[in-house]
A and B are shown apart, each in its own frame.
Chain A
Amino acid sequence: MTAAGPSFDRATALRTAGVFVFTAIALLPIGATIMLSLRPRPGGEPALISLQNFRHVFETSLVLDWLGNSLMVSLFTVVAAIIVSAPAGYVISRGRHKVIEGYSLLLFIVQSLPIITAVIPLFILFARLGLADHLGALVIIYVAGSLSVATWMMAAYFDSIPAALEEAAWIDGCSVFGGFVRIVLRNSLPGVLSTAIFTFLLSWNDYLVAIVFLKSDDSFTLPIGLQSFFQQTSTDWGAVMAVSVITMMPPVILFALLNRYFSVGGIGGSLSSQ
């Protein structure tokens, strides 16, 4: 920390080497996935890398449907989660009342509940309503599942916006609600983005709810589609890994672009099921 000179540089190099080795080992499974997906198919044109596996899965599986389903579910979940959790986060951030503190505790408890407890009765309920094999059912459950963490994340960001800003707006004749939307929410883009990334990851990666609710293969989301594809073609690793790459691309791209907005980790996502 304060030392300088050659010994310091050697320590830096050693640390770098250690982290490099760990990273290389830790990323082995992900690297293998990408490499296998880019290998030419048996009987295909020989090449160092090729997209034959991808062409094959697009032609022989419903992967495009699954991709569309996943994108739709995640998009609706993100929008709905923000609409529900931003106002709630505002109340928790600005309100000082026993009831609100109680609600905070309730959110913490709900966060720790095993999702399977909710999934079984909800499956029975949704099956009766004819919504069991329906993507809308997933959206509702994901919004509820991400509620606690999304609300905390929004509240945490609102805390960083001085209440004096809204108060000034009220004096200028702005309504309380107007102050929330036009002053607080408008200045909270990073907080909203962070919450959006979190809910996106949660809904994109979910397995348990989707496996219970989705039965027909054209309504699968990508995780369920990938698993059913694996069960049908378990020896065709090239094709399985091509579907795997398609499944992991959206969250990886999202993270690569927006990770500077995201510093919360999976508080909650896990906070919710994992």
Chain B
Amino acid sequence: MSDRTDPLDVVRAAQGRSGGASRPRTDWSASRGRLFLVLIAPSVLLLALLNAYPVAYAALQSVRNGTLITAGEFVGLANFAKVLQSPDFWHAVRFTAIFTISGVAGSWLIGMALALALQARIHFGGVFKVLLLLPWVVPIVVSSMAWNWLVATPDSPMPALARFLGFGTPLFLADPVLAAVTVCVFKIWCSFPFMMLMMSAALSAIDRSVYEASSLDGASARQQLFYITLPLTRRTTYISWILMTIFCINDFPTIYLLTAGGPIDATTSLIVLAYRLVFQNFQTGPGVAVALMMTAAMVVVSMVLFRQIRKSGATA
């Protein structure tokens, strides 16, 4: 075994370990069972206290008209009705979908392309690999400052460059459509290194002799990509899409730090909407209702995906 954790091992671990035929097994026995209970107890306690309790509390809040300080009165499902009838909510649903789909697709395409380039022969591959991780390692707050400097005002470098090239002066964060595009590009920029890591690991697991054999049979590079590389990395691709979807839907700082959800509400995703409702409009009930509906959706989606990952793990 090498001296580091193989990413795929972690993926396998995340799948509830159904795929690992070679993993060490230990029989379940009563005495060890008791120790196992003790060992896992802190984890379970923390999970209950910091996840189960808040979700239960949020459920109570969502049927009351309270604020952060007062409990308020029971209002039934009024908060949910109010949220579901507001155009802001549906606007946020739409932007969340756009943000997520473009984030997943964009970061995967770039990450996969880079992983392929780094896998093939290339000069200074090791240097590039480390440098290309930087957008992901640097805190979002820092990169959002840099992006602000690059695009925020008409005199920033990017608008100035556009003006110089004769494209007028685009207002990257003030125009609703451009702001949405900028936020999505920023998300892709932050996320492609993660995809590169995942896909690099999957590519390095492919046996080189498969390529050699197919070359002898006259396969073109294009055929190798579509008939060998993509099918053999399908599982990692699928898992990376799932993870990135979760990251995108739950992402707050990438959007909030660049545009705070604006202009007006052009880049308000569901999580930004929930934050604004609770902490800026002091409408705890509706805000918590938004968060709870997201939670419910994520629970259902993740249970389905968990099953699917495990199923694909059994056949891979």
Contact = CB atoms under 8 A, between A and B. Distances in A.
Interface of A: 1-2, 8, 11-13, 15-16, 18-20, 22-23, 26-30, 32-33, 36, 83-85, 87-97, 100-101, 103-125, 127, 140-141, 143-145, 147, 149, 151-153, 155-157, 159-164, 166-167, 176-177, 180, 190-191, 194, 201, 204-205, 207-208, 212, 222-223, 226-227, 230, 237, 240-241, 244, 247-248, 251-252, 255-256, 259-268, 270-274
B61 interface: yes
| Dominant secondary structure of chain A at its interface with chain B | helix
A163 B24 CA distance: 5
Contacts of B299: 109, 112-113
A244 B174 CA distance: 24
Contacts of A244: 141-142, 145-146
B282 to A, nearest CB: 12
23 contacts: A15-B120, A15-B122, A29-B146, A84-B42, A107-B47, A111-B302, A113-B250, A116-B274, A116-B291, A117-B54, A118-B51, A121-B58, A144-B50, A147-B46, A157-B5, A160-B1, A160-B9, A180-B39, A207-B256, A230-B145, A248-B137, A267-B11, A270-B244
Interface string B120-161: 111110001011111111111111011101100000010000
Interface stretch (B15-23, B84-92, B176-184): B15-23
B114 A19 contact: yes
B146 A208 contact: no
| Dominant secondary structure of chain B at its interface with chain A | helix
> Among the interface residues A88, A100, A241, which one has the most CB atoms of the partner chain B within 10 A?
A88
B131 A114 contact: no
A114 B298 contact: yes
Nearest to B254: A274
B215 interface: yes
B75 interface: no
Given A147-B46, A160-B9, A248-B137, 12 more contacts: A1-B215, A30-B138, A107-B47, A116-B274, A205-B139, A207-B252, A241-B145, A251-B139, A255-B130, A263-B5, A266-B136, A274-B254
A267 B247 CA distance: 9
B302 A108 contact: yes
A105 B16 contact: yes
A201 B252 CA distance: 16
Interface in B225-280: 243-244, 246-247, 249-254, 256-257, 270-271, 274-275, 278-279
A137 to B, nearest CB: 11
Given A88-B40, A237-B149, A270 B247 contact: yes
Given A105-B306, A266-B136, A177 B43 contact: no
Contact of A176 (B6, B32, B211): B32
B57 interface: yes
User: Which 3 residue pairs of A and B lie closest in terms of their CB atoms, listed nearest first?
Assistant: A163-B24, A29-B146, A144-B50
Contact of A26 (B31, B141, B189, B301): B189
A207 B257 contact: yes
B295 A259 contact: no
B55 interface: yes
A32 B139 CA distance: 15
Given A16-B124, A30-B146, A108-B306, A87 B43 contact: yes
B208 A1 contact: yes
A109 B296 CA distance: 10
Given A16-B123, A101-B16, A252-B134, A91 B40 contact: yes
A24 to B, nearest CB: 9
A111 B253 CA distance: 18
A110 B302 CA distance: 9
A110 B47 contact: yes
A152 B20 CA distance: 14
A176 B38 CA distance: 12
A197 B96 CA distance: 29
> Among the interface residues A19, A106, A252, which one has the most CB atoms of the partner chain B within 10 A?
A19
Contact of A96 (B25, B243, B298): B25
Contacts of A261: 3-5
Contacts of A100: 36
Interface in B283-308: 284, 287-288, 291-292, 294-295, 298-299, 301-303, 306
Contacts of A194: 4-5
Interface residues of B, number: 118
B297 to A, nearest CB: 9
A147 B121 contact: no
A145 B55 CA distance: 14
Interface in B48-94: 49-51, 53-55, 57-58, 61, 68
Contacts of A155: 13, 17
Given A12-B122, A87-B43, A153-B5, A122 B134 contact: no
Contacts of B303: 105, 109
Contacts of B175: none
Nearest to A122: B54
B10 A260 contact: no
Nearest to A3: B215
B35 interface: yes
B9 A33 contact: no
Contacts of A36: 149
Nearest to A29: B146
